Amino acid sequence: MTIGPVDSSKVPRFAGPATFARLPRLDQVEQADVAVVGVPFDAGVSYRPGARFGPAAVREASRLLRPYHPALDVSPFEQAQVADAGDIAANPFDVGAAIEAIEGAAEGIDAKLVTIGGDHTIALPLLRAAARKHGPVALLHFDAHLDTWDTYFGAEYTHGTPFRRAVEEGLLDTEGVSHVGIRGPLYGKKDLEDDRRLGFGILTAADVLRRGLDEVIDVLRQRVGDRPLYVSVDIDVLDPAHAPGTGTPEAGGLTSRELLEILRGLAGCNLVGADVVEVAPAYDHAEITSIAASHVAYDLVSLLAMQEKRT
């Protein structure tokens, strides 16, 4: 018997603690199958800061989520015990210390994680924790940017470098790694050459438009196969019309509908963890970005809950 969200027919959605989807805290359940955890850290950004406030904003926006997911035909909070694990405290002044703290805390949570950032730097320690449990993982990376650059201002650990470090550390199964939604100007053609050499496939935002969702989903599923899969979603994969509240916006992105449909197309894949990052509420309008991110997180939780049904 699972403990689900607060009953909105008894307690209005705008009342009570703002856990994700109004779920119980991790300390209120005996054992969680899936845990939603925040990482309020943004010391790795290269442009606009503010993603440290992302977890709180996404939780607040998630108050309106309901317990049945019709597109996936699952009641995720009945199918699996889902809980809010609170926030991982990370040093805001020392990126290296923050990465170590995030890795250690993620390993210490005995559940599959959907993590809300925070900037994309946090993907590296989360992938370390996932790879330690599952071996090298496949990766689907939804983003406007490659995030496989080598350094920024000589710094190796930033929100633009996590996936290069992940490849170098052997955390990824490079036969099953892809970017989705890439667009916008680059520093040079070498960026693409370096990315290809690291093993990544690319489906650009234009590819999603021209090739269509069914073909994109098929390409991604073939790429991933039955490998353990980690999904990392930078909310700037969405067009600024759908996600203005982010640190490095780029025109020409996916719609929220396209992103959600692609995620739903991953049903049946061996998902082992996920993150949603780069929500910066200071630049948001009417909570558009936070609302989109809350639905992305809900879909990821639902996919993980469906796996519990099979087992």
Name all domains of the chain by residue range, CATH numbers in brackets: 32-297 (3.40.800.10)
Q: Cite the DSSP H helix spans in the chain.
A: 54-61, 76-79, 95-107, 123-134, 162-168, 189-198, 205-211, 213-224, 256-264, 288-310
Known binding-site residues for Mn(2+) equal: 120, 143, 145, 147, 234, 236
Query: Is the dihedral angle over the CA atoms 286, 15, 21, 124 positive or is it negative?
Result: positive
Distance in angstroms (rounded) separating the CA atoms of residues 86 and 69: 24
Q: Which pLDDT score, from 0 to 100, does residue 308 have?
A: 86
The H or E element containing residue 112 is: strand 112-117
Secondary structure (3-state) at 2: coil
Which one, of 160, 123, 116, 158, lies nearest residue 289 by Cα? Answer: 116
Residues written for the chain: 311
Secondary structure (3-state) at 277: strand
Residue at token pair 């509420």: 281
Q: Which pLDDT score, from 0 to 100, does residue 309 have?
A: 63
Distance in angstroms (rounded) separating the CA atoms of residues 161 and 118: 15
Q: Which pLDDT score, from 0 to 100, does residue 311 have?
A: 46
Q: What is the DSSP string of 139-206?
A: EEEE-SS----S-BTTBSSSTTSHHHHHHHTT-EEEEEEEEEEE-S--S-HHHHHHHHHHT-EEEEHH
The whole-model pTM stands at: 0.98
Cα 25 from chain centre: 20
Residue at token pair 């990544």: 200
CB neighbours of residue 122 within 10 Å: 31
Distance in angstroms (rounded) separating the CA atoms of residues 31 and 72: 24
Distance in angstroms (rounded) separating the CA atoms of residues 242 and 286: 11
Q: Which pLDDT score, from 0 to 100, does residue 96 have?
A: 98
Q: Return the structure tokens found at 177.
A: 């790694």
Distance in angstroms (rounded) separating the CA atoms of residues 121 and 123: 5
Which one, of 102, 127, 116, 112, lies nearest residue 54 by Cα? Answer: 116
Q: pLDDT in tens for each of the 311 residues of the chain? A: 999 999 999 999 999 999 999 999 999 999 999 999 999 999 999 999 999 999 999 999 999 999 999 999 999 999 999 999 999 999 999 999 999 999 999 999 999 999 999 999 999 999 999 999 999 999 999 999 999 999 999 999 999 999 999 999 999 999 999 999 999 999 999 999 999 999 999 999 999 999 999 999 999 999 999 999 999 999 999 999 999 999 999 999 999 999 999 999 999 999 999 999 999 999 998 999 999 999 999 999 999 999 986 44
Known binding-site residues equal: 120, 143, 145, 147, 234, 236
Q: Which pLDDT score, from 0 to 100, does residue 102 have?
A: 98
Which one, of 170, 108, 160, 93, lies nearest residue 137 by Cα? Answer: 170
Q: Report phi then psi at 144, rounded to 5.
A: -75, -20
Distance in angstroms (rounded) separating the CA atoms of residues 258 and 256: 5
Which one, of 154, 63, 111, lies nearest residue 274 by Cα? Answer: 111
